[in-house]
């Protein structure tokens, strides 16, 4: 040990920017107020701090502050949007359209909707991870109330054609919701210009603290309403009861302000480092494949499969020094690899062989140089141990072997 951990798992969570931490500190002890306490200065200070944060966050996505509903995170925002629309618009219809590569927070909220009598269409993606617009259009019926498509995928970084989807939804008169957890704060996200009516995102993926998120709900043309999923004091315009997490919201606001100012610079820097990492690994190692579209992709993410090497074992060669994620799920009893990669048409074997590198604001050139070296050594070591790599090298058709399932 003694060595700094190289952190390339920023799609899981980002470190909190010290400037956001600094902004939060006065709201634990010095300013303890509840933002809903309207009758004394402590409450007013808290309310003022929340108002400022709401403005900072609204400014980041170019919306009105009154359109921001604070939640506990993107999972809650996704649930509130999907179940809230399903209940609110029950008289209009019961059909929701989403995509197979969505985050579980969306997919499982949709499954709940199905149990509540709703109907859900799960769109396929192509080998690049992108949906087919004609297929989306064809799936819309007179019962469709909501289309939910994530802005950028958490595993591959692939960005969907948001504006084109927004145009279809506007033309067909259905609401458009997006889980933009991985996009907000990293690339320009403007829901109004894109035709998105509900946008879910969270603080801890954009260098703010964990435990606070937001849902943008369009106020005008159309005026969108969601049925609250939490009963109580009627906070957040009745859409989300519960005492506001004032320090968290302040940190979220500060993180949004920093992101707005530094996004372009962060994106350009991480893209250069990501490209360096990707080019080096794919160039040095045989049978390494980038998963998902490279044209329509977040600047800080790359997902690479190293054929004939199992991702979790590979990670064990360097996980004392480097933190990242694998598409292999060898720890689960089912042994099922990433459903996102499988939806792209990857065989289970390639999905098991994948690593996701997600860079961030604090990633350095030295981090990337060390990662290239250690990952390449790990892949070579694991291939020396791999019987299927040996067979591949001998020209044996691995797909023709009758494997014993277990």
* Positions marked catalytic: 330
CA 394 – CA 286 distance, rounded (Å): 15
**Residue found by looking up tokens 């809230």 in the block:** 84
On whether the CB atoms of residues 23 and 254 are closer than 8 A, the answer is: yes
* Cα-Cα-Cα-Cα dihedral sign, residues 75, 138, 351, 402: positive
Q: Based on the shown chain and the rule CB under 8 A, indicate whether residue 356 belongs to the binding site for other proteins.
A: no
Q: Based on the shown chain and the rule CB under 8 A, indicate whether residue 347 belongs to the binding site for other proteins.
A: yes
Q: Based on the shown chain and the rule CB under 8 A, indicate whether residue 349 belongs to the binding site for other proteins.
A: yes
Site string for other proteins, 261-300 (x = CB under 8 A): ----------------------------------------
CA 129 – CA 296 distance, rounded (Å): 9
CA 340 – CA 334 distance, rounded (Å): 16
Closer to other proteins by Cβ: residue 278 or 310 = 310
Task: By CB under 8 A, name the one of 352, 354, 359, 372 that touches other proteins.
Answer: 352
The end-to-end CA distance of the chain, in Å, is 38
Closer to other proteins by Cβ: residue 25 or 385 = 385
Site string for other proteins, 358-397 (x = CB under 8 A): --------------------------xxxxxxx-------
Helices (H), 38-184: 41-61, 74-88, 104-115, 133-139, 162-172
- Let me know how long the chain is: 406
36 is in an annotated binding site: no
Closer to other proteins by Cβ: residue 30 or 402 = 402
Q: Based on the shown chain and the rule CB under 8 A, indicate whether residue 5 belongs to the binding site for other proteins.
A: no
Task: By CB under 8 A, name the one of 16, 310, 363, 367 that touches other proteins.
Answer: 310
Closer to other proteins by Cβ: residue 5 or 335 = 335
| Nearest-approach distance from CB 43 to other proteins, in angstroms | 45
* Cα-Cα-Cα-Cα dihedral sign, residues 209, 365, 273, 270: positive
Site for other proteins in 173-232 (CB under 8 A): none
Task: By CB under 8 A, name the one of 308, 324, 340, 375 that touches other proteins.
Answer: 308
Question: What SS3 state is found at 65?
Answer: helix
**DSSP-derived pairing of the beta strands 322-323 and 144-148:** unpaired
How remote is the C-alpha of 335 from its chain's centroid?
23
Sequence ranges of the binding site for [2Fe-2S] cluster: 330
Binding site for other proteins (CB under 8 A): 308-310, 312-313, 316, 328, 330-333, 335, 337, 347-349, 352, 384-390, 398, 401, 403-406
């Amino acid at each position: 040990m003694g060595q700094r951990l190289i952190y390339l798992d920023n799609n899981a969570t980002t470190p909190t920017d010290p400037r956001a931490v600094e902004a939060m500190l006065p709201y634990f002890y010095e300013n303890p107020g509840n933002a809903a306490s309207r009758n004394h200065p402590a409450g007013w200070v808290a309310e003022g701090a929340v108002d400022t944060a709401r403005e900072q966050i609204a400014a980041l996505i170019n919306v009105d502050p009154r359109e921001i509903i604070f939640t506990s995170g993107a999972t809650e925002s996704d649930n509130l949007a999907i179940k809230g629309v399903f209940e609110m618009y029950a008289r209009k219809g019961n059909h929701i359209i989403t995509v197979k590569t969505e985050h579980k927070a969306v997919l499982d909220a949709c499954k709940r909707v199905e149990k509540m009598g709703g109907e859900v269409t799960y769109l396929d993606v192509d080998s690049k991870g992108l949906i087919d617009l004609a297929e989306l259009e064809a799936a819309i019926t007179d019962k469709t109330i909501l289309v939910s498509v994530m802005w950028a995928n958490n595993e591959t970084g692939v960005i969907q054609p948001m504006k084109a989807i927004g145009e279809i939804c506007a033309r067909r008169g259905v609401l458009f919701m997006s889980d933009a957890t991985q996009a907000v704060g990293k690339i320009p996200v403007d829901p109004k210009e894109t035709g998105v009516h509900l946008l879910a995102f969270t603080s801890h993926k954009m260098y703010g603290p964990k435990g606070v998120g937001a849902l943008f709900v369009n106020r005008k043309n159309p005026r969108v309403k969601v049925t609250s999923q939490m009963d109580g004091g009627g906070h957040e315009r009745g859409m989300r009861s519960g005492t506001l997490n004032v320090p968290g919201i302040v940190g979220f606001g500060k993180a949004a302000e920093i992101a707005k100012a530094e996004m372009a610079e962060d994106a350009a820097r991480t893209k250069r480092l990501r490209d360096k990492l990707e080019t080096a690994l794919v160039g040095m190692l045989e049978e390494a494949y980038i998963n998902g579209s490279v044209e329509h992709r977040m600047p800080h993410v790359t997902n690479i499969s190293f054929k004939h090497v199992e991702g979790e074992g590979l990670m064990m060669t360097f996980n004392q020094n480097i933190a990242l994620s694998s598409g292999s799920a060898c720890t689960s009893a089912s042994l099922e690899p990433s459903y996102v990669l499988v939806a792209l048409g990857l065989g289970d074997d390639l999905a098991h062989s994948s690593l996701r590198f997600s860079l961030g604001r604090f990633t350095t050139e030295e981090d990337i140089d060390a990662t290239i070296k250690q990952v390449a050594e790990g892949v070579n070591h694991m291939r020396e141990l791999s019987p299927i790599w040996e067979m591949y090298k001998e020209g044996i058709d691995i797909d023709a072997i009758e494997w014993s399932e277990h």
